[in-house]
Amino acid sequence: MAKRMNRMAAAAVAATCLVPLSLSGCATKSSSSRNAREQADLNAPIATASAQVARYRVRDWSALNDHTLIVVATDGKRYRAETLGPCTGLDFSTRVGFVNRGGFNQIDRTSSVVLADGTRCPFQSFDEIRSPESKALDAYEKAGDTKPDSTAKQDEPKPK
């Protein structure tokens, strides 16, 4: 009876604390575009340091190496999580879970990633990154604001 209760408690903890995610869509991307995207994510500037995202808002993730994980939220925001040390097997993992020490329903810099074999790797940082697309859009919008309005001059009558 005690073993059964322990198993039930362990199953309840696993169900509430771990969110297994599967890597989807990896066969549709070419390797060159994927490598370019990974390099862009690895070198992307930080938009918000010490960010957080709710676990149920995680849409996708990818491991760039055994130290860096990219998490994509449902709203398209991208987050870069760096582990405290090398997380052996992270770059080859097909399933991960996220655990927070307080049992909160969010992922932040105090969280850990748990691999399918049970390896737990705490985060050193969890930051929101600016994607190259949003950076280009911001630059385009700024360029549009600085140009003089040429339509107003065309509509004015010419002096005689």
Residues 121-160 have pLDDT tens digits of 999 999 999 876 666 767 777 787 665 555 555 555 666 6
Residues 55-80 have pLDDT tens digits of 999 999 999 999 999 999 999 999 99
**Tokens representing residue 1 in the block:** 């009876």
H-run or E-run covering 150: helix 150-155
Query: What is the mean predicted confidence (pLDDT) over 11-23?
Result: 43
Residue with the bigger pLDDT between 113 and 18: it is 113
Residue 123 CA to chain centroid, in angstroms?
13
Which residues, 6 or more positions from 42, have their beta carbon under 8 angstroms from its beta carbon?
A: 64, 68, 80
Q: Is the pLDDT of residue 13 over 50?
A: no
pTM as predicted: 0.63
Strand (E) positions, the chain?
Answer: 21-22, 46-48, 53-54, 58-63, 68-73, 78-83, 95-100, 106-107, 111-115, 120-129
| Banded pLDDT at 33 (limits 50, 70, 90) | confident
Query: What is the mean predicted confidence (pLDDT) over 84-89?
Result: 93
Would you state the pLDDT for residue 27? Answer: 46
**Tokens representing residue 152 in the block:** 């107003």
Q: Is the pLDDT of residue 9 over 80?
A: no
Q: Which of 43-52, 97-106, 148-157 has the lowest mean pLDDT?
A: 148-157
